[in-house]
Each structure stands twice: as structure tokens, then as C-alpha cells.
Structure 1
Amino acid sequence: MEKSFEPAQIESTWYARWEASGAFKPSGQGEPYCILLPPPNVTGTLHMGHAFQQTVMDMLVRYQRMRGMNTLWQVGTDHAGIATQKIVENQLAVEEKTRHDLGREAFIERVWKWKEESGSTITNQMRRIGAAADWSRERFTMDEGLSAAVRKVFIDWYRAGLIYRGNRLVNWDPVLGTAVSDLEVNNVERDGHMWSIRYMTTDGAASLVVATTRPETMLGDVAVAVHPEDERYAHLIGQQLHLPLTGRQIPVIADDYVDREFGTGCVKITPAHDFNDYAVGQRHKLAPIEIFTLDAKVNDNAPAKYRGLDRYDARKAVLADLEAAGLLVGTKPHKLQVPVSQRSDAVIEPMLTDQWFVDLTSETLADGRPGGRKAITEPALDAVRSGEIKFVPENWSTTYTQWLDNIQDWCISRQLWWGHRIPAWYDEAGNIFVGEDEADARASATTAPVGALRQDEDVLDTWFSSALWPFSTLGWPADGPVKNERGEIVANWEQDKIFLPSAVLVTGFDIIFFWVARMVMATKYFTGKIPFREVYINAIVRDAEGQKMSKSKGNTLDPLDLIDGIALEPLVEKSTKSLLIPQVRAKVEKRIRKDYPDGIPAIGTDALRFTFAALASYSRTINFDIKRAEGYKAFCNKLWNAARFVLMNLPEGQIAAPQGLPATEAERWILTRLKQTLAEVEQHFVSYRFDHLAQALYEFVWNEYCDWFLELSKPALNGDDAAAAASTRHTLLVVLESVLRALHPVIPFITEEIWKDVGPKLGLTEESLIHRPWPKADDIAADHAATGEIEWFKNVLSGIRKIRSEMNISPAKTIPLLFADGDASDHARVTKFAAQISFLARTETPQWIEAGADEPASAAAVVGALRVMIPLAGLIDLEAEKVRLAKEISRIEVEIRKCEGKLGNANFVANAPAEVVAQERQRITDWNTTLGALREQAQKLGG
């Protein structure tokens, strides 16, 4: 082994070897275990959320493969309709062209060309973090097989009456010119105003004052609503109002939607441009009036003077005219939640447009068949309510069920060119014909089309194809093998349906609605199976202070920068180059220079992965601190150096297993602790407590194996007992090899690199660690008696070393050692471990002080009833030792008060588990024993 651990040197070679060897493919043996990768956008690059989520998935896949499962990590990318089309349109803009200059067919060819050139960026980055995915089965939501699945689902649902076309209110992006989903909308707080406007009754006898943050939309008002129990306005319900500036009349209606305590208790109703108002309009059968064009300009339904104005220019004009008419009652500042498109930064406009929808709400269809609620929604609800699908943490199941209980019909059409074009055609009379192609649409028609057919211009929502991911990626609905463009088989439904349902879906809480629920709905409907048995909701990664990562804040981290390291100036340039506003760019640069004055050091993939594992609790968010990542790089270095120590203490050739039990208690202790640690780790994998898993492995490797067992092995390695030395060497190696296997799912690169030197020493024949089985706790014999002996030995050594440290006694100096008090077992243990104590603590041969004998002034540590004493004459200042003892006595007194506080709390004693209460009582007994010994020692020193 090299003297130091250099991540870059080993990471560049191991991944290519794994992939080339086919290590990531299903073995074909064992029970199926599948994980679906939430397909990242083909436009994307790896960010911290991806790296965290994919580390969790990779740990699970590697662990289950080692357990003998037939594992498949199904990967692929999403075509990302809006994002991808925007990238290519931006490229055309540089050429001073639009997609319309190219035409639909040529534009789509241009997009495919971009995808082939740039679409593999994120998958190559996934390889950098060690993702053990079966890349031979990689899918793309626009590949031929998945496109066939999309067409079949659309056609089947349409023919079952579960897809329809209708004029409904949707989120509309006026810049992109398309409907967008709720997930693609950010609600941003902005400073705005609340304007109060007077609406007069037609007889002029009364008026109502409404408050609005969007006065321009009053041009489309169809009513003013009040609460039915609001006595202030009861006499006006049913009367007509003059709608200012328009010449129209609108009624006063009563509806429970109105909050009579808010503002004046009067609400203007604009169904064509507000979702809540749309619902009110539906209840009262009020025809909506659209006042905006699709690019958010005022249309011909408004008075002539406002037509053609942008919506914000129209706002200014409307306010000026209201003020001139004396109808603008007041204006005050108001904080707004403004819906903003993620893709264009445009403010979303609720807009009535013709769209395609999946029926998720009807109990029955017009012809008596089951509607979407019974056919699609209810089975998805039942799957979670029955426990067939479980959420981890469990509370997220409530989020899932509440959304499905209150679901609306799903808008699945988008006004784009890039995506799955809707397989629907229209004849000259406007009749709709659906099929695989035009010929199939004609053949399936119940009535003959009128004239020529034209295909629908829209494409399907990206989430529509993603909803089919659990079964379409496995080859459904093809009868035989599905091949990619290179002619390679990527799926075969007849063989691969064994991977449905998958074991667990690892995903974020923000897409429970948009992806998780829709996968359950589609998979249950078309296969009769659930898509996955468990849903692990991973936390969202934030910065060290708990703030959301944002380019404009300068607190984003690129996982590859953490892996490879990056100098300050390149980091500043990278962090600010996309920021157009000079003030923001300057603020970000200032923060980067403050937080990373020396740039970001390279920590390597393994250290980053261990950090993610250690942070992966059940929390909603996690705070990523680069200093913690540097600490796990130190862990990797510690493991590397421990392995070098073991290998340097081995003879040439293979190490044979000794006959019988391990020769020393230290060996039996470390094997017992290994067994306990492996059992803990296995349980934490089951419960998805990766933070506890990482902590258990860290504690065992760092504290018990590296710090203690390597030390405890030295007396045997350097002693005269050849059998003990041989046995110790073998145990050092066996435990190290087991540790490497246990760590491999978390830190695969360094464990592989070390194992290539360790495995052959044990005569193991696997090509690499990735092919080794999981180390089973049940295969290791426990020796609890040895554990008790070694724990006593460790406490004695720790006591001596603590005195040395606090008294500033050189570790190289041999010192006298005395023992006093204690019971028969202490006397036996001192005799048994005397040589090891002298060797490891660098002391003279231990001596006992008989009861009643004069004692020299000494520094003492207490182990139970045993006093471990170092005579201080010639070593330290006695006064300093008195101060040390006083501090230790104060510390113990604090611990005793804590225990007494707990035991004095009736609620704690009554409600805590019995073993916890017993543990506290034992602790107070132990603390009092220690306190008595320390006080006695202080008294002997005159303290």
C-alpha cells in the first residue's frame, strides 16, 4: 500500500473496472431487489441533493447485492420538456432564429442532436460518486420503448373515458406560452399593494368596497361575493352592481368562501383568472370572462382603451381611471405570495385554455362505468392505507393521503414541441380521434371523420411519462425484448417484471404529489401491482447555517468541487458567472472569499459519501458543513493507516487460520464488538437510519479497532508467545476484511483499494471486494466474558493515560504504578494483565498497596472500587494534582445531580422503560463509588 491515501488516484480506476466487469447487473440469483432512480432532467448537472439521494440509493443497492439479492438499480433520464426546449430555443436566439423559423420537425431534430451531445453530463457525474447502477439498462423517457408505453396508456385511458379534453383554468406561463404544473411554480414573497375599490349598486343607493391586489383583473369580474351570514350585506344579496370602467352590471352573491373578517368582507369574483374565483363561479353558474391574451395582454373582452396593454401597464391605467372617477377608496402596502414560473421567472397567470385532463375525481362516467376516483385514485389510496406501501418516516403517508383525498383532475397537456406528442387527431368538424397513429385513429373511430385529419399540436406533461417509470422501464407493454438505438437489449417485460414492485423509492417530499402518487395510480391501474413497497423520503440539503442553497446567496456547493477540490479564484468565477445583477455578483463574491479563503480542499468521494450517510436522519432538512466532511476524510486516512499497520505486521504469503479459539481475550473482545456492530448496522439498513449506521461503523473502526485493538495487539505481536502472535495477526486481518465489507456500501473506493491487498492474504478468490458477501453477525461467536475483561483493561489504561495527559507526563517516560482497594476480580485482572499494562502504559511492574499501609502522594484514577495510582514524587506539582482532583470531583457531583433529578421526577420513573430507570439507578451507584474514591484520594493529598 502507498504511504498515504490519495482519493483521486484510486477513484479514477475502480469505477471503470466495476462497470466493465458487469458488477452492477442483476445476478439472476436470489430474491429480486430493485430501486428506481428518480430520473434527473437530461438538461441537468449533479447538485448536492442529487449526490445525497443517490448515495443513499447506492448504499442500499450495494448492501443488498452483498446479501445475495438479485439487485437492479434502474436508471435513466427525463426528457424535461420545458427545460430542454428552452435551452435549444436560447441557442437559436443567439443565431437570431426561433423554433418557428425551423419548423416543428427540424426543431425536434435539433433537440435530439443537443441531447446526444450534452445529455450524458449528469450520468457521467453519477459515476463519479460511485453509483452502482446498471447502465446497460439506462432508459430515456423519449426512447422508443417508453414512447410506446406512453401512447398505450393515453389511448387506453382515453378509450376508458378517463382522459378528456376540456376548457379549464390552469397555471399559464405567458413567456413560455404553455400550461405548467404546480411543481414548476414557486410562490415568492414580494412587496405589493392592496387597493380598495368602490362598486356602486345600479340604483345608486348603496355601494360595496372590495379589496384586491390585482385591480386590472376587475375588467373580468362577474360578481361580488359576501358571506351568507354577514348581516352588513344581507340586504344587498341579489342586487346588481355597476362594474367600474366597463359599463357592465354584475350581481352580489353569497358564498361561504368569503372570509367576513378579512378586509371589508367583500370579494370580487374573476373566474377566468383566479382558481378560488373559478370554483365560486362554477358553484353559482357564472360564465367566466377572459380579459388576457396568452401573452398576458388585455384582449378584446375589455373596454377599447385597455386593449393590447400588458397586464401591468393595464394595472396603472385602471388605477388612474378609478382614481379619476372617485372610486379608488384606498391604497396600502401588502406582502404578496406571487406565483412565479421556475423556467422563465414570469409571473404565472391563471388562464382558461383548452387542455387534456386525466379524470381523477368522477365516481362514475356518463355511461355508468367507474370514473377516475374509483378506477385510479382509490386504489392508490388503499395501497397506503392498507400498509401495502409504507412511507419512511411514516408521517409522510398523511401528506400523500390528504393530497389524494382532495385531488383535482390532472392537466396533462403542454403547449410545447419537445415531448410526447398527444396521439389525437381532429377532423374538420372538430371531432376527436385517438390512436397509435392516424391510421389507427381512423380505424378505431365509431363514426367516419369529416374531411382531413390534423394531429393535436400539444405534447404530454413530463410527469405523465414519469408516472409510468416503474413498469415502462422494465419493458411494458412490449411482448419481447426492448432494444436501444444501438440494438442492445435494455428490458424484457416477461423476464423483468420480477422487479415489480421495487423494494424502495428514495425521493424528496416535494414530489410526493407530482410523481410518487402518480406512479402508484398508473402502476396499479395497468399492472395490478404496487410500484414499490416502501417510500423513503430523504431530507433536503441546506447549508451549514440551515439556509436553502441558492446561487444568489453564494452558498451552493458543487459535489464534484468537494470531491476534487477547487482553488479560490476558479471557485469565485464559477459561483458568479451566471449572476447578471452586479450587486448580487459582488455580494456572492464577498461571501465566497470569506467562507473559502483557501478554496475548497479535495475530500474525495468516500468522505463526501460518509458525510451524507452520517447526516441522513429522519429530519426534513440537513445542514451540510464542509468541516464535517473534512472530518470524514480523516476517518478514511485513519482506516488507510490502520490497514498499512496490519499489513506491515504480517509475514509474506497467505495467513493461515489458527487452530481453536482466538488465543487472546483482546481478539475475542474485538470479534464480539464486531458481531454487535454488524447486527446494529443491519438493523439500521432495515430502518433507513443511515446516520445511526454511519455512527456505529465510525465508532467501531475509529475507537475500537484502530485506537484500541491495534494497541492491544502489540503485546502479543511483540511477545514471546508464538501462538498468540499468529492468532492475533489472523484476527487483525479477519476483522479488517470484515470491516472493509461492512464499510463498502458507504465508502466503496477506499475499501476496494485496501481489500486488494487484504483479500489475497486470507486466500480469498474473488476478483474484488464488490463480489464479496456481506459479513453476517450470526457467523461470529461472541465472548461476553472476554468483553468484560477487556473493558476493565481499557478503563485502567484510559485512567493512566488521562493522568499522564493532565499531569503533562511525557508518554515516553516509564513511571511507577500502584493499585489500591478493589475486589478479588480486580486483583485477578491486575495479575493477568500486568505485562500488557506495563507494555502499553509504559509503567514499571504494578505494585499493590496493602490496606492500612501508608500511601505516597499520588494521582489516581478510579475504576469501580479499584484505585489506579501514580506516585507523584519527582513527577508533578502536588498542588496541580489537588486542582485536578477538585475538578473531577465537581464533574462527578454534577453527574450525580443529573441522575438524582431524573429519578426524582415521578413522570420519568413512571413512563420511562424499566431498563432505562434501572440504568439510571446503576449509574448513580457507580458515580457515588467513584466520588467516594476521589474524595478519599484528595484527602490523602491534603485537598
Structure 2
Amino acid sequence: MIHSVHLFVYPRPSMKAPKEALDKAIPKAYTPADVEKRIYDMWMKENCFSPRKTSTGKTFSIVMPPPNVTGNLHLGHAMVMSVQDSLIRHHRMLGDETVWVPGTDHAGIATQLVVENHLRQQGKSRKDFTREGFLVKTWEWVETYKKNITDQLKSLGASADWSRERFTFDPEFNAVVNKVFVDLYNKGLIYKDDYIVNWCSETQTVLSDLEVVATPEESKLYYIRYFVKAADKSVIVATTRPETLLGDVAVAVHPSDKRYKEFIDKTLILPIMNREIRVIADERVDMEFGTGAVKITPGHDPLDYEIGRDHNLQVISVIGKDGKMNKNAGKYAGLEVEQARKNIIEYLDNIGNLEDIEDTVSNVKRCDRTKAIVEPLVSKQWFVKATALAPEVMKAVEAGKTDFIPDRFRKEFSNWMEGMRDWCISRQLWWGHRIPAYYKGNEMIVSENHPTEEGWLQDEDVLDTWFSSALWPFVVFGWPDKTEDMKKFFPTTVLETGRDILFFWVSRMMMMSMALTGEVPFYHVYLDGLVRDEKNQKMSKSKGNGMDPAELQNAYGTDATRLMLLLGTTPGNDLVVSRQKAESYRNFVNKLWNASRFIRMQGEETMPYRELEAYLEKNYAKLNIAQKWILSRFAHVSQAVTEGYATYRMGESGTVLYEATWNEFCDWYIEISKIEVNEHTQAVLQYGMMTLLKLWHPMAPFVTEEIWATYDQEELIINSSWPTIPAKFINDEIEEDFRILIEVVRGIRNVRHERSVAPGKLIPVHFVADVKKDLLVQFEEVLKKLAKLSTMEIHKGRPIIGRKVALIVYPFEIYLPLDDMIDVEAEKARLTKWIAEKEKERRIIQSKLDNKGFIANAPDDVKAAQEKKKQEVEAVLTTMKQQLADIE
């Protein structure tokens, strides 16, 4: 037994403690701040998070998507970590050998930007430092925030194996990154070449396509006349970027466009520059855009670059890396782009080349981080030949080696992979894995290590952050060495991450893993949606609607915060959160604590969980209907929760568990147990509570561990086994009978409320029961107590009792003789409304039964259930209509 752990800070009760001792030992209120750190430290001390060899022989592995070391965790991180931790804890309890590898990402451009901003607040800039000096400052930032992130993850309850914690820029990781770069280069899968790239003048670096956001913005469409050389003819082109006209090398038309047949291969005079350019034909021209004739500027447009390359056209860049017009812009050199545009338009108008200006909306490309306008520029950069790697990934996905949850993202992923361009991996930054290429004069070598000879200079650029992140799933297990961890835990079981980085990260991990290991990196990809506020707006710093998970944890407790992020979620869909939700889940945690305290206070002895289960199995025949009902519900709910984890729909099955805990166990069974007390009551209560604690533990680990300790079990709940309720406990008939009884009580309570019957006043009730009379007899005392009844009479036919309120709970008719409390007109209105609702329900059922597709495809048991439901609704309608006729 693990009593030496001292789970309680208050005196620990023994298994046979008297009630007085229990009352002092177990606090009347649950206070998360007094519990969470103590429990987490205890889990760490007991080494609960490391993989354990188990009897199942199965493994379950997850690599944590490493948070960026740019600051503190946000609510999206908290959701991802909560989902992963619930999966890990569940599989640990199932008996699988489970590992969750934690870590953080160096986040190249993101970290450099925040460090530069930090320096700016001190009146300094990156240019005030040498490269080495700036890296020292960055490492200071990283070490601080890396620890903060780790501490936050632990505070959320992350049961990761911290002995395996990694950083994507630690020395060992850097060595592997260099090796991969060199290996891929030697295989021709990494190359350096001129290409048109996305250039951010603010960060002074290349961006990948995924780091660029195109947003619709109001702009102008300019119609400019290009004259044919030595002829009285012209071609009018439309453009939103007249400033790039200075770099035009051709005008293109579609070969099928009859309007321009005579112009193909003609020579035009480029306005302002007076340079001769040709009219070319290319099928990539959109005949519907503008006039159907487009200017070709390979130096500043990706499509123009492709067309120019195919037609062997010159590349002229007129905008520099500083975002200003360069020397190729002639008299406009040195101007900001906007000013150059204004001046060029004025000049074209003056010389008669400006035909028209229209208002339009165009997609403006901006840096996802800085929001600065991104300029397409031709530059010499390093690339991964993604077009060569993508086909193997596509084959693996098509073969079902990796699936997507939800499945709709498989198609989205496939479409992206099919259209993928080569991946630009060089970044003009200081922070990151420096490219292992070295130069000496005109020579270049690519090597894992710096050349020993003098005179070699390393490439100034660093690798895109996603290059090292793409290696994460296998490097953390010791690759490229053939370690035991690689054999056991790779490929990993599931990658759980946000859908917003499906292409940033997931696609690149798939490519790198297939290329380097020959395996997919994970069998399942579980994609979360976004976290939104109560107005359904995406949370962001700019909107000021973000919620700090640490603040929520302090206010409502970690378990409540986790439940807010887990319950009701569905894969791939956005989650709406609010403080009201967090507060409601804090109330639920308190409900769980109070219910457990009540149960523990009823009995002076506890038994090990499995012994309790065996006791109830042995004495099952002696249990009353309520006890059998709750055991059957536990069996079904346990099955639903288990299935939820197996299909990655934990949020939905968690909602089922919530309803079963609050409504069925706490609100109904515990109340009934106070009325029907027998020698088995305490056993059922304790078994029920401990079963719920096990089912809740993956989602609400702290409160469940704390409550579990009050039952003095032989092991911590984190190390306990997942509940597998005996099949003997399942009884669908009793569940249906009990559902009817609950509806009876609810119906009578509603009438009492509507008629303002005093809470303490007992009222009589009459039942008409052609069937299930024994159920009412057996449950009579409980019904009286719960519904506050004075007498309860059961009839075969409708009783003559004067003025009454009628209820129908199939198969019973219920009559409450409330005499002067009855308003005849109100009762007629109530019955009329009720009949209308039931008529609508009947029509819906009938419509389904009339549907040929439903009849042809639905399982027999589903069709039978609909038929039965129809019969019940029709029986209720008949009775209600008779009651209405009696009143009238």
C-alpha cells in the first residue's frame, strides 16, 4: 500500500475510522490550491509517468507538439495538452505501456521577433549586437520561458515522462538536424537555387507559403496602354501593381483569345522605360481578368516567374529587400512602393498611357506574424524537393497507414500534397539551426561539421523552424540510432494537434519520416478546432478576448479548466469557452467532492475496489431495483466512455459521463439510497463513486486522486486499472423501468411547481396501470418520498375523483386531485399544447418510417425501436385526447 506518500495534508483516516474522525479528516469543501501541487509532486516522486511493462503487451505513444518558447501557454495549448493527457491517462489505466514525450520548440522567427521587441523596449536593436551577442540574449530569454512553459504544463496535470524532455535546439538535436540536411543534400533532395520567394521586409527574411496570409483588401485596378512598336496599335493591360511595370519583360495573352491573335509575337514599347518587350501566348493567362492581356514581371509575381522561366525571359527586380524601389527602377529608385505607385500613375496619365482606373478588391499577401506586406522577390535560397517526397506520403495515406480524425481532413491533406511546391527552408535570421554549408571563394561544401582548414565561412542563413520540428516524432526516441524506444514506440500511436498546422507541421513530419525512416510517423492524426469566446470569435491578442489558462486555473481549479476544454468537444470542430462554463465545471467538481464525502461519511469501512465488485456480483440477486439500475447504468456508461476514447470522441462520451454522474448518481441514486437503506447500500455507493472516479480520472486527475485517497485503496488512482463492469450488471429492462419511474417523479414535481404546492405539503396520487403495476408497488415508498405524496392508489380503469390534473408517463396515466388548485382553462390549454407536441412527434416518427431509404438501410433493431416509439406516442395521444374531452 502507498500510504507513505502522505496524500493528505490533514490526518489520514484508517479503513475502519469512526465517523467523527472522518468528519475531521475530510474537508467539507474542496480547495484546488491546497491539493494540486501536492498531488503532482507525489506523482513525480512515485515515478507515475514513466512507461511500465504491462500484461497487455500493447504500447501507446504520443509526442507532445512542442510549444514555442516565445512566452506563456495560451488556451489553445491548454486544450491540446488536456486532450493528450486524458488519452495518456486512459491508456495507462488500460494497462498499455504508455509514453508521452514532452518538449519545447526553439521557434526561429517567432522567438527572434519577441526578443527583438524586448530589446526595443530597452532602447536597443538587434543591430547593436554581434550575432554571438544576440544569441546570448536569446538563450537567456529561452531558458526563462522554457522553464515557465514546463511549469505551466505540469500545473495543467500533464503526465508526460519528464525524463525524456527535449528541446528542438539542444546540442543533440542540432547534430541530427545537420546530419539530415547533409544526407538529403547528398541525395539531391536539398538544393540551392534562384527562385521567387515571399520576402518580409520587416523581418528581413524569406517566408514559406504557409507563413503568408492573403486577405481581401480594397485597391485599384489600373488599365495601362502598351503601344506596338512602329505601328498605330496598342494593347491595354490591367494591373493592381503599376509600380512593377518597370520590371516588365513581356505581355501575355491566351493562345485561344481571338482578340489578340494578331498581336502574338509583336513587339511593344514598355511605358516609362522605353524597353522593347514581346507579346507571348500562354495557356495560364486568365482571359476573364481585366482585358485578357497581362503584364509579365518574373521578378515580382510567382506565376509570372513560372511563365518567364518557360519562355526564357529575363528577370528584372525593381523592388529591393528593404521594401523600396531599387536601382533598376531608374528615377523612382529609393522611393517607398506606395509613393512610387502614385508617381508612376501620374506620369502615365500625363503621357497618355493611362486608360482607366477601377475600384476593386484584391488579395494582399501579408506576413502572418508581423502583418507587413509580403513582396515576391527572386532570391537564391535553399529548398527541400518536396515534390519528390510528397508521392510516398500520398501512397501511405491512401493505403490507410495514417488516418485523419475527422476523416474530412484526409481529402484536404491529399489536395494540399498534390499541389505542393518545393519547400524553401532558408531563413535570413540569427536564431535557429544554422545551415551546414560552407564557402571559400567560389567553392561550397555541405558538411555536418565545420571544415578544419582555415578560410571557410558558414552560410549566414538558418533553417526554417519547421525543418527541425519535422524530425520531432523520431528524433525524440533516439533516431538515427536503432534504440529500444524506436522499436517500441515508433511510429507513434496518435498525433493530436490543431487543424491550423495540418500543412505547416503534419505534412512535413510525414515527408521527413517517410524519407528518413521509411515509416509513417504516427498511425492517427487527431485534429482539434480553434478555441473561441462566447461570441464565437477566434481568440487573439489583437482582439483582447484571450483567456489566460493560468488565471482560470487559479480562479476555478485545474480540473474545471480541463473539463471546460474537453467536454462537448468533437474532433476538428471549434470550441466555445467562457468563464461561465469554467464556473459550471467548478460546481461539478464540488458536486463530486460533496457526493463522495457524503458516501464516505455513511460507512466506517472501505474495501478494495475489486473486492467490492466481487461482493456485489455475489449478492446481485439480493439487490433492490434502484441498486440494480445504477449498476446497469455504470456498465453502460463505462462502455460509452471506453468507446469514446477508442474512437477519439472523448468530448461526447464525457458529456454522457457528466449526465450520469450529476443527474443519475448524485441527484437520483444517492437520494434514493437515503430512503431505501439495506445491507448493500454502502457497497453500491462506494463502488459507484470509485467507478466514477476511475472514469473521470483522465479528464479531472487532481480531484479524483484526492477523493480516491479517502477510500484508502491499495494503489493511487493514476496506477489503478480501467473499470470493466461485469456483464452481469447490465439489465436493459430495469433501466427502462427506472427511466419510467424517474419520469413519473419529474412529472409530479412539475405539476407541484406549476400549481405552487408548498414544498412540505403532501398530495395524493392515482395511477391507472394496465401493465407494470408491480413496478409501482415495489417502488411505492420511494415515490412517496421523492414526489412528496400522502397516498398512492393504483387502478385498472380511470378513477372518478372530480377535478384533477392529468399526466401521461407511458404506460401509466397519473391523476392528481388538487381540487381548488386547478384552473380549468389553464388545464385545457396545457393539454392542448401537450397534444400538439405529441402530434408533431408522431409525424416525425411516421415520416421516418415512410422513408424508403430508412427502411432499406436502417438496422432491424433501430426500425423496431421507431415502431415501438410510435405505438407509445399514439397511446399517449389517445389518453390525452380523452382527458381533454372529459374536461370539456
TM-score normalised by the chain length of structure 2 = 0.92
- Counterpart code for 2:718: I
Q: 1:513 aligns with which of 503, 516, 519?
A: 503
CA distance in 2, matches of 1:209, 1:860: 83
CA–CA distance in structure 2, aligned partners of residues 320 and 133 of structure 1: 64
| Residue 121, structure 1, aligned to residue 148, structure 2 | yes
CA shift, 1:227, in A, is 0.7
Give the Cα separation in 2 of the matches to 1:846 and 1:875: 19
Shift of 1:785: 4.1
Residue 683 of structure 2 is aligned to residue 730 of structure 1 = yes
Cα separation, partners in 2 of 1:179 and 1:291, compared to 1, 3 Å: same
Structure 1 Cα separation of the partners of residues 821 and 191 of structure 2 = 91
1:487 maps to which residue?
none
Measure the CA separation in 1 of the matches of 2:781 and 2:498: 57
1:867-886 alignment, distance < 5 Å: 867-873=813-819, 876=822, 880-886=826-832
How many aligned positions are there? 854
Q: Distance in 1 between matches of 2:132 and 2:768?
A: 92
Residues of 2 paired with 1:106 and 1:129: CA distance?
35
Residue type of the partner of 1:871? P
**Alpha-carbon distance in 2 for matches of 1:841, 1:317:** 85
2:173 maps to: 146
Aligned to 2:243: 216
SS at 1:51 equivalent: helix
Q: How does 1:760-775 map to 2 (within 5 A)?
A: 760=712, 764-766=713-715, 768-775=716-723
Q: Deviations over 1:338-380 (max 9, x none)?
A: 111133332111111111111233xxxxxxxxxxx2xx32221
Query: Aligned with 2:221: secondary structure?
Result: strand
**Native 8 Å contact 2:215 2:366 kept in 1:** yes
Name the CA distance, whole Å, in 1 between partners of 2:129 and 2:747: 80
Q: Call closer, same or farther: CA 1:233–1:881 in 2, change over 3 Å.
A: closer
Q: CA RMSD in A?
A: 2.3
Partner of 1:790: 738
Deviation at 1:780, TM superposition (A): 6.0
1:8 alignment partner, one of 33, 44, 48: 33
**Correspondences of 1:493-642 after superposition (within 5 Å):** 493-564=483-554, 602-642=555-595
Mark the CA change 1:202 to 1:682 in structure 2 (over 3 Å): closer, same or farther: same
Would you say 1:420 and 2:380 are equivalent positions? no
Residues in 2 aligned to 1:223 and 1:177: alpha-carbon distance in whole angstroms: 29
Aligned partner of 1:667 among 627, 632, 644: 627
Match of 2:273 among 239, 246, 249: 246
Instruction: Decide whether the 8 Å contact of 1:508 with 1:539 is kept in 2.
Output: yes
Helix, strand or coil for the counterpart of 1:498? helix
The answer for the alignment partner of 2:809 in structure 1 is 863
What are the superposed Cα offsets for residues 557-612 of structure 1, whole Å, 9 maximum, x if unpaired?
22233333xxxxxxxxxxxxxxxxxxxxxxxxxxxxxxxxxxxxx33322222222
Distance across 2 between alignment mates of 1:97 and 1:810: 74
Q: Give, in angstroms, the shift of residue 556 of structure 1.
A: 2.4
Structure 1 residue 5, shift from structure 2 partner = 3.5
Query: Match for residue 471 of structure 2?
Result: 468
Specify the code of the residue in structure 1 equivalent to 2:685.
L
When residues 667 and 201 of structure 1 are mapped into structure 2, their CA distance, relative to the original with a 3 A threshold, is same
Q: Note the C-alpha offset of 1:544.
A: 2.4
CA contact (8 A) 1:37 1:73 kept: yes
Amino acid at match of 2:817: P
Corresponding residue SS for 1:809? coil
Confirm or deny that 1:437 pairs with 2:449.
yes
Classify the secondary structure of the residue corresponding to 1:844.
strand
**Secondary structure of 1:504's partner?**
strand
For structure 1, the 5+ residue unaligned runs are: 362-372, 443-450, 480-492, 565-601, 718-724
Match of 2:460 in 1: 457
Alignment CA distance shift 1:691-1:116 (3 Å):
closer
Cα separation, 2, equivalents of 1:625 and 1:922:
41
Aligned partners of 1:190 and 1:335 also within 8 Å: yes
Judging changes above 3 Å, is the alpha-carbon distance between structure 1 residues 855 and 865 closer, same or farther for their aligned structure 2 residues? farther
In 1, Cα distance between equivalents of 2:353 and 2:258: 24
How far the C-alpha of 1:165 sits from its partner, in A, is: 1.0
1:402–1:70 distance in 2 versus 1, CA, 3 Å: same
Q: CA deviation at 1:701?
A: 0.8
Residues in 1 aligned to 2:337 and 2:796: alpha-carbon distance in whole angstroms:
97
Partner SS state of residue 393, structure 2: helix
Partners in 1 of 2:428 and 2:92 — Cα distance? 44
Whether 2:766 is the aligned partner of 1:818: answer yes
Which residue identity does 1:437 align to in structure 2?
Answer: N
Of 837-846 and 209-218, the range deviating more from structure 2: 837-846
Indicate which of 392, 405, 424 corresponds to 1:411. 424
Q: 2: distance between equivalents of 1:385 and 1:668?
A: 48
1:709 aligns with one of 660, 669, 677: 669
- 261, 280, 286: which one pairs with 2:307? 280
Other-structure match for 1:27: 52
**Offset of residue 812 of structure 1:** 1.9
SS at match of 1:120: helix
What's 2:645 paired with?
685
Q: CA deviation at 1:256?
A: 1.0
1:928 matched to 2:887? The reply is no
In structure 2, distance between residues paired with 1:293 and 1:877:
85
> Which of 752, 766, 783 is equivalent to 1:804?
752
Partner of 2:786: 840
For 2:705 and 2:589, the matched residues in 1 are separated by 12
Worse overlay, 610-619 or 151-160: 610-619
- Using the alignment, how far apart are the partners of 1:73 and 1:624 within structure 2? 27
Identity among equivalent pairs (%): 41
1:343 to 2:333 alignment = no
Deviations 1:778-813 (A, max 9, x none): 566323343344334333333332332332223322
Q: Partners in 1 of 2:474 and 2:98 — Cα distance? A: 16
Q: Deviations over 1:179-208 (max 9, x none)?
A: 112232222332221111111111132111
Contact (CA 8 Å) 2:763, 2:791: kept in 1 or not?
Answer: no
Residue 199 of structure 1 contacts residue 209 of structure 1 at CA under 8 Å; is this kept in 2? yes
1:149-188 mapped onto 2 (5 Å cutoff): 149-188=176-215
- 1: CA distance, partners of 2:798 / 2:277: 105
Alpha-carbon distance in structure 2 between the residues aligned to 1:865 and 1:475: 66
Where does structure 2 lack aligned partners over 5 or more consecutive residues?
1-25
Shift of 1:35: 0.9
Q: CA separation in 2, counterparts of 1:908 and 1:27?
A: 48
The structure showing larger relative contact order (alpha-carbon pairs under 8 Å, at least 6 residues apart) is: 2
Within the candidate set 373, 383, 408, 1:357 is matched to 383
| Cα shift at 1:122 | 2.5
Structure 2 counterpart of 1:716, one-letter code: E
Residues 484-495 of structure 1: pairs in structure 2 closer than 5 A = 493-495=483-485
Distance 1:852 1:463 in 2: 76
Q: Which residue of 1 aligns with 2:296?
A: 269
Tell me, yes or no, if the aligned pair for 2:556 and 2:586 is still in contact at 8 Å. Answer: yes
Matches of 1:48 and 1:325, distance apart in 2: 58
2:239 is equivalent to residue 236 of structure 1: no
1:891 maps onto 2:840 in alignment: no
1:851 positional shift: 4.2
SS of corresponding position for 1:9 = helix
Residue identity in the other structure for 2:192: R
Q: Distance in 1 between matches of 2:732 and 2:145?
A: 58
The answer on whether the counterparts of 1:680 and 1:693 sit within 8 Å (CA) in structure 2 is: yes
Matched, 1:900 2:853: no
User: So what's the TM-score if we normalise by structure 1?
Assistant: 0.86
Alignment check: 8 A CA contact 1:671 1:780 kept = no
After superposition, the Cα gap between the structure-2 partners of 1:401 and 1:895, relative to the gap in structure 1 and judged at 3 Å, is closer
Change (3 A) 1:271 1:856: same
Distance across 1 between alignment mates of 2:88 and 2:810: 46
Cα distance change of structure 1 residues 78 and 835 upon mapping to structure 2, 3 Å threshold = same
Relative distance call for 1:821 and 1:21 in structure 2 (3 A) is closer
Aligned to 2:353: 327
